[in-house]
Amino acid sequence: MKKAFTFALFMVLTGIVLSSSSLFAGIGVDPTVTEISVSPGGKAKGTFTVVNDGDESVQVVVQPENWPRKRGAIDISSWLKIKPEEFKLGAKGVRKVKYKVKVPKEAQGELMSMVFFATTAPAGRAVNIRTRFGVALYVTVKGTEVLEGEISDFRVKKVKSKEEKEKLYFTALVENRGNVHFRPRGKVVIEDEQGKKLDEVEVQYGWPVFPKNRRLYRANWEPEEIVPGNYRAIAIFNYGDIYSELDKQFEKDISFEVTDRGEIVTIGVEKN
């Protein structure tokens, strides 16, 4: 009995399947990101194009969600209607899905939803796999925008690339103090101790910072040689381009020394 128990097998995810498909979904949606501006009480509408790249028809469910998934956001159903909410899409099929936005009169800043197009999970599998394809819908409440941000932290450290080459790795923590998202477009300017510009490196553009939130942006400086000496680095970001406020800019600088031993000493900052 004990032996029988010891060698007892228990069924764990048997992998027994009732369907022969090995491919899940194939759903894609366009546009992937929509940014619109609507007055309080105003309306807007548009369409999503949903495609099925797969070889089988799929049942698609539309699931708009608050994003980021935080409590306290205005209930999506009060400002966003989508039709149809569920439909079948044949292999290689294309379907238009309409949406309608009605901005509540009391809304301020922006409304945001990640609209997911989910395939319903096939039944009968031990492990069901569901795919969801989310597209972003940003609605700026016209006239109530507060566009405000800063770099709350700016650091440098030395790292090695895959090829074992030394580089300086800058990180800038950008904080959004306003009520609409923005996409910082930035660079890091590196100067020597006389203030002569040595180089500048771009920060990757695209990731948004949500209202009352922070995001870390990175840049690498990979010169031929990192010569010992004193340096100054300035992170400069423009962040108003979505709203045609091109003069919106914030910056922060740090001074640091590269010692003879190749260590980075940030001036005015205690070593961790």
Partner 1 sequence: MRRRFLFLIFIVLFILATKVADAFADVATTAGVDVGAEVKSVLVTVRNVIGDQPTSAIGFGNISSAATFVSSPQYLEVTCGSTALAWGVQIYTNNAGYGGEQKGGLISADNSSRVPLLWRVFDSMQNPGIGVPCINSPGWGFVKDKNDADMNGSWPGDGVQIEYRSIVTNNGLGAFPSPGRSGSSPVYVYFGADFSGVPSQSYLTQIVIEVYNL
Considering only residues 64-123, where is the footprint of partner 1 by CB under 8 A?
67-71, 81, 83, 98, 100, 102, 114, 116, 121
CA-to-CA distance for 142 and 180, rounded, in angstroms? Answer: 11
Q: Is 201 in the site for partner 1 (CB under 8 A)?
A: no
**Site size for partner 1 (CB under 8 A):** 80
- Contacts (CB under 8 A) with partner 1, residues 127-156: 127-136
> What's the closest the beta carbon of residue 27 comes to partner 1, in angstroms?
6
Q: Which of 149, 184, 186, 208 binds partner 1 (CB under 8 A)?
A: 208
- Joined together, the tokens standing for residue 64 give 């708009």
CA-to-CA distance for 121 and 125, rounded, in angstroms? Answer: 9
Select 2 or 261, whichever has its Cβ closest to partner 1: 2
Q: Contact, 62 vs 113, CB < 8 A?
A: no
CA-to-CA distance for 120 and 51, rounded, in angstroms? Answer: 15
CA-to-CA distance for 226 and 58, rounded, in angstroms? Answer: 56
CA-to-CA distance for 270 and 118, rounded, in angstroms? Answer: 49
Q: Is 266 in the site for partner 1 (CB under 8 A)?
A: no
Torsion-angle region of 82 (φ positive above 0: left; ψ -120 to 50: alpha; else: beta): beta
> What's the closest the beta carbon of residue 43 comes to partner 1, in angstroms?
4
- Joined together, the tokens standing for residue 134 give 């989310």
> What's the closest the beta carbon of residue 265 comes to partner 1, in angstroms?
24
Q: Is 220 in the site for partner 1 (CB under 8 A)?
A: no
Q: Using the structure block, give the residue that is written with the tokens 């997911």.
A: 116
Select 18 or 194, whichever has its Cβ closest to partner 1: 18
Q: Is 19 in the site for partner 1 (CB under 8 A)?
A: yes
- Contacts (CB under 8 A) with partner 1, residues 154-183: 183
Q: How far is CA 254 from CA 83, 89, 153, 239, 271, in A?
A: 52, 55, 10, 21, 14
> What's the closest the beta carbon of residue 221 comes to partner 1, in angstroms?
17
> What's the closest the beta carbon of residue 173 comes to partner 1, in angstroms?
8
Nearest CA to 226 out of 264, 187, 269, 272 is that of: 264
Q: Which stretch binds partner 1 (CB under 8 A): 5-13, 143-151, 231-239, 263-271?
A: 5-13
3-state secondary structure of 78: helix
Rg (the chain; Cα; Å): 26
- Contacts (CB under 8 A) with partner 1, residues 48-67: 49, 51-54, 67
> What's the closest the beta carbon of residue 181 comes to partner 1, in angstroms?
8
CA-to-CA distance for 195 and 56, rounded, in angstroms? Answer: 63
Q: Which of 36, 73, 74, 189 binds partner 1 (CB under 8 A)?
A: 36
Q: Which of 163, 206, 261, 271 binds partner 1 (CB under 8 A)?
A: 206
